[in-house]
């Protein structure tokens, strides 16, 4: 039997990090030492108090059964309490919060709840590759809204054509932004609310990096702004805040109908997050400040080391206020992919080409500061010795 892929799979571009992994393995086979600055997977261990909470919960046999689809009431209550403390946003945990198996899962499933075939889904480009992929999987038409340097890597909402805005049903937005590290101000969020209200567009705000910020800056939640809850849903992950990437636990909050729609998809696709992990998530959210500043200081130190290296290498960038990424311009005369390939083959440094995040990422590369500080220092020395 000749097994044939569905068109939705056949049309997919290769997943960015799988392609990079193949090149890394090729260079390792040739004996090169690799310094991987490609993936945002924190090297700092999950805090002990969260691990201990998991151990206690694993020993409780009540957590060995199927969990509830929407998440344990206690977990959703912890989410609501955290939102109130952190953003002064009031949520009804029963109807305005749902547990996710990581925010990626929730983002990927959302278009299934709100797009019919042929509907337009807006997303920012460059951006998380899951946005356009999930729109396509739902039968929607992805429409890229560019993030340009001259606009501070914020989407120019007024430049979206009128007919596109009238046909659009959802809009994926992400601040603090991956990959550009840009942050959004209050005026932008207010305009985003107005866009949702005027055109009946569900604003899907990916807020995974709100807790990784520096120099006294505190990122907003989209839901802090008047009218946002009427038009929006916000995704959050414990992965970045608590170094829990492998635990696969997150949540979505906001408009009750939007949260309910996502929840309905989940009841038909998955059986919820393991309750012991939810119990650990409760402990994390209740004590979210515990050790957070120390973790941020490590990422801040690494940011400063790499930015100094970029200065010395003559590469342009904007110093990040948030996230653990650095987005910088590649040398003139090279495409993003050419630069990242040459850097890997000549120095062993892995960076992510900007085009891996969309066509408007051309001319840029992204690094992640989620490896040891010693390796960051070593990478900087190699970068400065490179000739482009």
**Hey, which CATH number is domain 7-45+292-385, 3.40.50.300, 3.40.50.720, 3.30.420.40, 3.90.1150.10?**
3.90.1150.10
In the prediction, which pLDDT does 81 show?
98
Looking at CATH, the fold of the domain delimited by 48-286 is given as 3.40.640
Q: Does residue 46 contact residue 247 with C-beta atoms inside 8 Å? A: yes
What does the alpha-carbon distance between residue 43 and residue 57 come to, in Å, rounded to a whole number? 24
pLDDT band at residue 39, thresholds of 50, 70 and 90?
confident
The Cα 312–Cα 319 span in angstroms is 14
pLDDT (average), residues 175-202: 98
Q: How far is CA 375 from CA 33, 44, 320, 349, 368, in A?
A: 11, 14, 20, 10, 12
pLDDT at 377 over 80: yes
DSSP 219: P
Assigned token pair, 55:
């151990």
Helices 292-313, 373-385: inter-axial angle, 10-degree rounding = 10
Beta strands across the sheet bearing 232-237: 97-100, 250-254, 232-237, 202-206, 168-174, 120-125, 141-146
pLDDT at site 151 = 97
List CB contacts of 52: < 8 A, sequence separation 6 or more. none
Q: What is the pLDDT of residue 202?
A: 98
Residue 92 CB partners (closer than 8 Å, separation 6+): 80, 256
Say what the pLDDT of residue 198 is: 98
Give 278-300 pLDDT, tens digit per residue. Answer: 999 999 999 999 999 999 999 99
Give the separation between CA 358 and CA 172, rounded to whole angstroms.
Answer: 14
Three-state SS at 367: strand
Residue 168, strand partner residues: 120
**Cβ-count burial of 81 within 10 angstroms (0-12 exposed, 13-18 middle, 19+ buried)?**
middle
pLDDT of residue 16: 65
Q: What pLDDT does 15 receive?
A: 67
Number of Cβ within 10 Å of residue 315's Cβ equals 17
Count CB atoms within 10 A of the CB of residue 362. 15
User: What percent of the chain stands above pLDDT 90?
Assistant: 88
Please state the domain extents for the chain: 7-45+292-385, 48-286
Confidence at residue 261, expressed as pLDDT on a 0 to 100 scale: 98
Inform me whether the pLDDT recorded for 317 exceeds 70: yes
Q: Is 0.85 surpassed by the pTM of this model?
A: yes
- One-character DSSP codes across 238-307: HHHHTT-GGG--EEEEE-HHHHHHHHHHHHHH-----HHHHHHHHHHHHTTTTTHHHHHHHHHHHHHHHH
Tens-digit pLDDT profile for residues 155-176: 999 999 999 999 999 999 999 9
């Amino acid at each position: 039997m000749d097994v044939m892929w569905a068109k939705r799979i056949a049309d997919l571009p290769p997943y960015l990090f799988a392609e990079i992994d193949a090149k890394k393995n090729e260079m390792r086979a040739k004996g090169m030492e690799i310094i991987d600055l490609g993936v945002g997977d924190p090297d700092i261990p999950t805090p002990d108090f969260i691990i201990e909470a998991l151990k206690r919960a694993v020993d409780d046999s009540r957590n060995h059964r199927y969990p509830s689809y929407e998440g344990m009431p206690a977990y959703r209550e912890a989410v609501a309490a955290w939102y109130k403390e952190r953003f002064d946003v009031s949520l009804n945990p029963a109807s305005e919060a749902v547990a996710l198996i990581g925010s990626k899962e929730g983002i990927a499933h959302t278009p299934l709840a709100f797009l019919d075939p042929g509907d337009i889904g807006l997303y920012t480009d460059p951006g998380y590759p899951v946005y356009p992929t999930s729109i396509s999987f739902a039968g929607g038409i992805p429409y890229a809204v560019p993030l340009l340097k001259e606009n501070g890597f914020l989407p120019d909402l007024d430049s979206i054509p009128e007919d596109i805005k009238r046909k659009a049903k959802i809009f994926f937005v992400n601040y603090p932004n991956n990959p550009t590290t840009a942050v959004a101000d209050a005026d932008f969020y207010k305009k985003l609310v107005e866009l949702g209200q005027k055109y009946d567009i569900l604003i899907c705000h990916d807020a995974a990096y709100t807790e990784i910020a520096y120099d006294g800056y505190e990122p907003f939640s989209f839901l802090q702004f008047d009218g946002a809850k009427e038009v929006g849903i916000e995704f959050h992950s414990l992965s970045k805040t608590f170094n829990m990437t492998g635990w696969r636990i997150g949540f979505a909050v906001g408009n009750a109908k939007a949260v309910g729609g996502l929840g309905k998809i989940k009841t038909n696709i998955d059986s919820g997050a393991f309750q012991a992990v939810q119990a650990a998530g409760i402990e994390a959210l209740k004590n979210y400040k515990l050790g957070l500043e120390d973790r941020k200081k490590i990422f801040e130190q690494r940011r400063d080391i790499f930015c100094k290296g970029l200065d010395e290498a003559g590469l342009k960038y904007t110093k990040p206020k948030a996230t653990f990424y650095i987005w910088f311009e590649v040398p003139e005369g090279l495409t993003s992919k050419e630069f990242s390939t040459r850097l890997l083959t000549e120095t062993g440094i892995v960076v992510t080409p900007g085009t891996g995040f969309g066509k408007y990422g051309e001319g840029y590369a992204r690094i992640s500061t989620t490896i040891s500080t010693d390796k960051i220092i070593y990478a900087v020395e190699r970068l400065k010795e490179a000739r482009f």
